[in-house]
Chain A
Amino acid sequence: MDLVFKALADESRRLLLDRLRADNGQTLNQLCAGLPGMTRQAVSKHLAILEEANLIAAVKRGREKLHYLNPVPIHEIAERWIGKFERSRLDALSQLKQALERRDEQGDE
């Protein structure tokens, strides 16, 4: 959990996560192209810290590495405090359920 907070305590790293949220599965080159203010070396270093904190899942594809935003550790942190207040049926589940049910109703027509 320390790693997650340390990784998030940096604006550039939060920006990288925003970029992946907008377009998941980017290579280092793609991320650098979208962030001209940051050197390739800096982007690479930030990605390593995010990966170490499990906030990014990196998948090798041929000679490339694709970076995916992994929000699971953030969900676990939220759950530690929010879950205690019986908010455990997070919007996540109810929204998924609603989407599925809406879908069903459409399918049944």
Chain B
Amino acid sequence: MSKAMNKASHVYVTYIRSTPENVWRAITDPDLSARYWGHSNVSDWTVGASWEHRRTDAAGKPDLKGMVIESSAPRRLVISWAYPADVDAPARVSRVAFDIEPHKDDMVRLTVSHSELEAGGEMERGITQGWPFVLSSLKSFLETGKGLL
């Protein structure tokens, strides 16, 4: 079954000519994430720490927030993921796992598993549009030095 209760999950995979270390850095470094994602991912990425997905203007307002659930650099990162207004509403907090595996000699297989989404909700609609863009942009950024922004 794809759903428990009315929860939805989505899984995205991309193959990137890069190293697990560089993919990890691109996801977790505020300056690098800004260059292909348009937002800065900010945290110390230790389990239990909070993380924020901040706008790149001076105010740096977060558009997403969550906690670090698992952190095994450079292979696996699991975070909770919610709109700032929803961080204290468990039903509206989703979960994102990044799995970074070496593939063949010089590639990385990056899997993003976004689960515990409210089925049909605004977040689900947003991320199903957003992840294909973000992963294509990340691939372009790491392989050519330019994101798709």
Which A residues lie at the B interface, using CB under 8 A? 23-27, 30, 54, 57, 59, 66, 68-76, 79, 83, 88-93, 95-96, 99-100, 103-104, 106-107
* Other-chain residue from B1, B8, B122, B135 in contact with A72 (beta carbon distance below 8 A): B135
Most B CB within 10 A of own CB, among A57, A68, A91, A96? A96
A107-B12 contact given A93-B133, A96-B129, A100-B63, CB 8 Å threshold = no
B85:A106 contact, CB within 8 angstroms:
yes
Contacts A68-B11, A93-B149, A107-B85 supplied; 4 other A-B pairs, CB < 8 Å: A25-B2, A88-B148, A95-B129, A106-B85
Chain A residue numbers with a CB within 8 Å of B113 are: 59
A99:B122 contact, CB within 8 angstroms:
yes
B13 sits at the interface (CB 8 A) = yes
Chain A residue numbers with a CB within 8 Å of B43 are: none
Chain A residue numbers with a CB within 8 Å of B129 are: 91-92, 95-96
Query: Smallest CB–CB gap between A21 and chain B, Å?
Result: 9
A68-B10 contact given A75-B133, A100-B63, CB 8 Å threshold = yes
Complex: chain B residue closest to A83, CB-CB: B148
A26:B2 contact, CB within 8 angstroms:
yes
B132:A71 contact, CB within 8 angstroms:
yes
A68-B9 contact given A23-B2, A57-B111, A79-B148, CB 8 Å threshold = yes
Chain B residue numbers with a CB within 8 Å of A59 are: 11, 113
B140:A79 contact, CB within 8 angstroms:
yes
A59–B131 Cα gap in the complex (Å)?
A: 18
Query: Smallest CB–CB gap between A10 and chain B, Å?
Result: 21
* Other-chain residue from A25, A74, A76, A93 in contact with B3 (beta carbon distance below 8 A): A25
Chain B residue numbers with a CB within 8 Å of A103 are: 83, 85, 122
Chain A residue numbers with a CB within 8 Å of B149 are: 88-89, 93
A75–B64 Cα gap in the complex (Å)?
A: 24
A99:B148 contact, CB within 8 angstroms:
no
Q: Could you jot down 14 A-B contacts, CB within 8 Å? A: A26-B2, A30-B1, A70-B11, A72-B136, A75-B132, A75-B135, A79-B148, A89-B149, A92-B130, A96-B130, A103-B85, A104-B85, A106-B85, A107-B83
A90–B130 Cα gap in the complex (Å)?
A: 10
Interface flags, B123-149, vs A, CB<8A=1, else 0: 001110111110110011000000011
Question: Which 7 A/B pairs are nearest by Cβ-Cβ distance?
Answer: A25-B2, A107-B85, A68-B11, A75-B132, A92-B133, A96-B130, A57-B11
